[in-house]
């Protein structure tokens, strides 16, 4: 039984390596042989193994993630045309992109853009009528020589934009629903810390714990959502089984600190996208976003930094 569980963990680890490779190279063409090499499986068996674990073939997975990334960029990136976004997401032929986008979302990419824009405008008008006192205003912080934002949003403690360094993280990945399921998060954190503790990987000046969200829950169906519960580790750390390792590249992020109960997380994320971004002069950059936890939760309350990569509009 123990041996079977170890083998399952090894297979999951190899598939996770494939996920990480695909996500880092989504704009490039990929072959089955290339992906099989990353996963260290025979190219003759990789397709079947991947499908049995993930529920999709490798190329079904790649196509879906490319389309979902394109949909996210279409709804958040006003500077790039749909054709430019298609190329950024790995489609070399706009007609193939258009056909696949319509098949997947049951609406053309241009209609999707209009629909999302209209919904955003309606949400913004509704938000303006209900939460005008929560609009962020920027100010210069002389002590830190940086720009910060003042806000009356009751859950928010601070907002700033700053560069985060490259981080190497060890992770356990979950695929499926997770919204509001604090018991699920608790189980995953427990497994990760049980692995990290005996290896002396917990604590230290630069230690961070975070949760990376690989998919937009407004686009991806719940059963396919991917998230990774992570801790920072030295780059040379050895991992195996269900524990994976990846790098988060250095980038500029908006870092919005909140004090939240488990049921408040959605409201906090909605505020960052619906209130802060429109008033900030920034737009989301094309990299994963994550939550960072600077303190242990106390009395059911979480201090959390919502971190979203940014670039100028």
> Cβ distance 292 to 305 under 8 Å?
yes
**pLDDT 10s digits, 35-93:** 999 999 988 889 999 998 899 999 999 999 999 999 988 988 778 899 999 999 999 99
Q: Determine the pLDDT at residue 129.
A: 47
* 213 strand-pairing partners: 227, 289
Q: Determine the pLDDT at residue 38.
A: 94
- Report the CATH number of the 157-312 domain: 3.20.80.10
> Cβ distance 193 to 180 under 8 Å?
no
- Give ranges for CATH 3.20.80.10 in the chain: 157-312
pLDDT above 70 as % of the chain: 90
> Averaging pLDDT over each range in 137-146, 180-189, 245-254, which range is the top one?
245-254
CATH topology of domain 2-113: Arc Repressor Mutant, subunit A (1.10.10)
Q: Determine the pLDDT at residue 148.
A: 79
- Give ranges for CATH 1.10.10.60 in the chain: 2-113
Confidence of residue 119 (pLDDT cuts 50, 70, 90): low
- Residue 122 CA to residue 144 CA, distance in Å, equals 37
Helices (H), the chain: 2-24, 32-39, 43-54, 58-76, 82-88, 94-105, 109-131, 182-196, 265-271, 277-280
């Amino acid at each position: 039984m123990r041996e079977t569980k170890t083998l399952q963990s090894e297979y999951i680890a190899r598939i996770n390596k494939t996920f990480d490779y695909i996500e880092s190279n989504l704009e490039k063409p990929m072959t089955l042989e290339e992906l099989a090499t990353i996963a260290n499986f025979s190219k003759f068996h990789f397709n079947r193994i991947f499908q049995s674990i993930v529920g999709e073939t490798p190329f079904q997975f790649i196509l879906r993630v490319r389309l979902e990334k394109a949909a996210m960029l279409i709804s958040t990136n006003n500077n790039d045309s749909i054709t430019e976004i298609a190329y950024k997401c790995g489609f070399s032929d706009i007609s193939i992109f258009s056909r696949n986008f319509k098949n997947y979302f049951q609406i053309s990419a241009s209609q999707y853009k209009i629909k999302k824009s209209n919904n955003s405008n309606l949400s913004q008008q509704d938000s303006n009528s209900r939460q005008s006192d929560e609009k962020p205003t920027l100010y210069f912080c002389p002590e830190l020589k940086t720009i910060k934002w003042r806000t009356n949003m009751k859950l928010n403690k601070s907002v700033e934009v700053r560069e985060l360094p490259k981080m190497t993280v060890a992770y356990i990945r979950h695929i499926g629903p997770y919204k509001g399921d604090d018991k699920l998060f608790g189980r995953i954190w427990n497994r990760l810390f049980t692995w990290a503790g005996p290896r002396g990987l917990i604590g230290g000046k630069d230690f961070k714990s975070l949760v990376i969200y690989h998919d937009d829950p407004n686009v991806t169906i719940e059963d396919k959502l991917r998230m990774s519960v992570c801790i920072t580790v030295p780059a040379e750390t050895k991992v195996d089984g269900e524990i994976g390792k990846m790098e988060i590249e250095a980038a500029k992020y908006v870092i919005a600190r909140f004090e939240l109960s488990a049921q408040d997380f959605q409201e906090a994320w909605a505020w960052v996208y619906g209130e802060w971004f429109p008033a900030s002069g920034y737009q989301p950059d094309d990299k994963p976003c994550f939550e960072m936890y600077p303190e242990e939760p106390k009395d059911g309350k979480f201090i959390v930094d919502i971190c979203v990569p940014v670039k100028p509009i």
